[in-house]
Amino acid sequence: MDIFTINTLNHQPMKKLLSSLPINLDLGLLLIRLIIGILMACYGYQKLTHFEDTAAYFNEVNFLGMTGKVPLVLTIFAEFFCSLLLIAGLLSRLSLIPLLICMGYIVVVMDKMEIYTSGDHGVEIGHAFLYFVIYLALFFTGPGRYSVDAAVLKK
């Protein structure tokens, strides 16, 4: 090999880093699904294990005319059970619909469209808004190749 060939081989990793093409899209989608799913499932699990305590807070929540335990059960379904489906990549787009509705409701009604606020460390973005945007992106991209959906629907 001459010097030109060796030099050309060394620039391949740099070309990948500067490229707009994905290095491994499916692995990236898996990581996003796992991380966002686990974080949201923790919220739902907390509500599930402290159901009665959380129900007192939900008496103030009015979701489509329902108050009390009904909105709490719907929230637990979305945050915990739909997150578990998302982690597995099973019925991914269907499981994202309740999650999108839940986070959308929090952003619009509970947070009154305050997407960002001034905090101690500068501007802080609302968690529900971030979850909503990530869920929306996953809805459009799908779960990726490393999912139960992909394994079941494999042709």
Residue 115 lies in a domain: yes
Residue 4 lies in a domain: no
pLDDT surpasses 60 at 8: no
Tens digit of pLDDT for each residue in 41-62?
999 999 999 999 988 888 888 8
Whether 34 maps to a domain, the answer reads yes
117, β-bridge pairs: 124
Predicted TM-score of the model (pTM) = 0.85
Residue 28 is encoded by which pair of tokens?
């990236």
Residue 35: inside a domain, yes or no? yes
Mean pLDDT computed over 13-32: 88
Domain count, the chain: 1
Would you say residue 6 lies in a domain? Answer: no
> Domain for residue 65, yes or no?
yes
**pLDDT single digits (tens) 109-132:** 998 998 988 878 889 899 999 999
Structure tokens at 147: 């999912």
Instruction: State the helix-helix crossing angle for 25-49 and 69-76, rounded to 10 degrees.
Output: 150
More confident residue, 5 or 127: 127
CA-wise closest residue to 83 among 137, 33, 132: 33
Q: What is the domain extent for residue 124?
A: 23-152
- Residue 49: its pLDDT value, please? 97
pLDDT above 70 coverage of the chain, percent: 92
**Is 5 a member of any domain?**
no
Report if residue 18 sits inside a domain.
no
DSSP per-residue codes, the chain: --HHHHHHHHTHHHHHHH-SS-S-HHHHHHHHHHHHHHHHHHHHHHHHHTHHHHHHHHTT--BTTB-THHHHHHHHIIIIIIHHHHHHTSSHHHHHHHHHHHHHHIIIIISTT--EEEETTEEEE-HHHHHHHHHHHHHHH-S-SSSHHHHHS--
Q: Among 13-17, 64-68, 139-143, 150-154, whose mean pLDDT is lowest?
A: 13-17
